[in-house]
Chains A and B, each alone.
Chain A
Amino acid sequence: MAGTKLVVGRWDGPDTVLAAARAARAAGYSCRDAYTPFPVHGMDAALGLEPSWLGKACLGFALAGLTGALGFQFWVSVFDWPMNVGGKSFSASPALIPVAFELTVLCAGLGTVATFLVFRGLSPARRPELEGLGATDDRFLLAFAPEAGAEAGLKAFLLEHGARDVRELEAPR
């Protein structure tokens, strides 16, 4: 991918950028990504993104936490070292619920976030893309990686759809 040119348009507001993105998709331009100060609703469809799969990951982590916690507690209390604590049965299971619940939440939460970070490649060492164009402040960007020769048409298209400016950049990475 190195050496590809990116065409980046900038908009002032969420509504205009969303309209432009929709238009670009309709016009057959494949938008590489949008960069916005806050999530612009409707952009998923405008960019043609599948819904996030992290919910399933979260469920997986939660189940792992739940079974791990229940299993560990049960193994400890009944098999590894059964102890007579307050005359209760070794397998007195209601007592195992709170810890199992907490570990479920902990595993699910930390696991999902970790998966997200790993999946999106976020780390302290990561270089942000399109830094300095104001996407974290008040600018709304659409980035395209057009085929060679299509840059000029794209630029015009974007300006036509309300872009304040359009620039060509080296693609990151």
Chain B
Amino acid sequence: MSATACKLREPLVDGHKSCRDVSEDVCRIAEGSPTRLWYAGLAASSTALAVGAFLVFHQVWTGIGVWGLNKTVGWSWDITNFVFWVGIGHAGTLISAILFLFRQKWRTSINRSAEAMTIFAVMCAGVFPLIHMGRPWLAYWVMPYPNPMGPLWVNFRSPLLWDVFAISTYFAISAVFWYFGLLPDLATMRERASGVRRRVLAAASLGWDGSHRTWQHYETVYLLLAGLATPLVFSVHTIVSFDFATSVIPGWHTTIFPPYFVCGAIFSGFAMVLTLMLIARKAVRLEAYITLRHVDAMCKVILLTSMIVGLAYGTELFTAWYSGNPYEQFAFLNRIRGPYKAYYWTMVFCNVVVPQLFWSARVRRSVPAVFTMSLLVNVGMWMERFVIITTSLHRDYLPSSWRMYHPTFVEVGTFVGSFGLFFTLFFLFCRFLPMVAMSEVKGVLDHGRH
């Protein structure tokens, strides 16, 4: 809180904003009429969502055979997308919870949207394990509930069951955390609103009034939630990696996966946050709040995680070679030189080579460059999951079962649809809810001390 300390740093918010300015700038977005860019974005994303929804309907109605999977490759785009989206989600939790615990005040401008991103990404992720089932209408069987079958419970030894608990816990805690953070801001918006809108906001803000007695417990709970979310976020991707690590398939069965997956998740998640923030600050004019300093900080995180991911790629290869296990060795040779090698090398290029440009401060603060690279990182991370899942499966132990896998338009369209869902929700969020955590930003303003 020392004013002198702040002086040495760049301000977290540009343009000498006051509390009133913050309320005004943030609430304006939700109160005024949206920009044309917003309409265009929503139209595009909801179209993609509609296509995806239709294809999911088609797939559930006709049978999962409309996908390109076969007897050898039982998972491909579906679980790739699942892991991809879960990974995306992780950055949001990281920004809101871990940076909070580390007292990184710069997070305040972006944590709300990052958390929203987490929730939407987890929703997208959750769709895939659901629809990848042959009989999704029986998906509730994965929950242990008393039933007239004995009762027959579930298999607590299955990593997929762990996923069920991890993903649902993650979604629940993220959603609660996010909504919890929204309470003061919803109250701010309520005060500015009238009529039906006010009544809705009044209910949604749970009668928040800024009482310090509430604030005191609120801060404790917020800290606790952050403290819970931090191990949670690590556990979720660890458990997701268990889907592969606990299997017997060469290329999957490896102990490096938990840290590798978590780092990859943070890596891809930050890239996605950047993508979104760069769009959002333009689309709803929040340049003063989401500053180049934020971009710069996130680029540094990406650079760090990129190097960890690169290290993991190297370690994987080394382990396979050093293990002396012929199946393991072949699995990795097959990634590098087999029929799916283009995917592997795209992955290496996007995830390891491209981020090295972030050593340059000029690149880190160039919006077009960062935007392009953030997209490339997302492409690379999707490739990574595809490479792990598909190339390991398509040639495993018995050569008689080796098979190629090719996706169909349904898989591609469903993936596009998941982007539609994600962006539709995100655009709606931008339009109707405070995109920036006002109460938190207000807390880090230099209140008349400049």
Contacts and interface: CB of A to CB of B under 8 A. Distances in A.
B126 to A, nearest CB: 15
Nearest to B217: A52
Nearest to A98: B162
B329 interface: no
Given A40-B212, A105-B169, A112 B225 contact: yes
B220 A123 contact: no
B216 A44 contact: yes
Nearest to B438: A37
A48 to B, nearest CB: 11
B446 to A, nearest CB: 10
B434 to A, nearest CB: 11
Interface of B: 1, 18-20, 23, 144, 150-153, 155-157, 159, 161-162, 165-166, 168-169, 172-173, 176-177, 180, 183-184, 187-188, 190-192, 202-221, 224-225, 228-229, 231-232, 235, 239, 242, 438-440, 442-443, 447-449
B211 A33 contact: yes
Nearest to A172: B209
A138 B23 contact: yes
12 contacts: A15-B449, A34-B211, A44-B212, A52-B216, A52-B220, A58-B224, A122-B207, A124-B203, A128-B208, A129-B209, A136-B191, A141-B210
A124 B443 CA distance: 26
Interface of A: 12-15, 33-41, 43-44, 47, 49, 52, 54-55, 58, 72-73, 76-77, 80-81, 85-86, 88, 92, 95-96, 98-99, 101-103, 105-106, 108-110, 112-113, 116-117, 119-132, 134-138, 141
Secondary structure at chain B's binding surface: helix, strand, loop or mixed? helix
A81 B153 contact: yes
Nearest to B238: A98
Contacts of A95: 156-157
B209 A128 contact: yes
A11 B236 CA distance: 45
Given A13-B448, A105-B173, A117-B206, A54 B212 contact: no
Given A55-B220, A120-B217, A41 B1 contact: yes
A92 B157 CA distance: 9
Contact of A76 (B153, B190, B211, B443): B153
A39 B165 contact: no
B225 A101 contact: no
Among A73, A77, A122, A128, the most chain B Cβ lie within 10 Å of the Cβ of A128
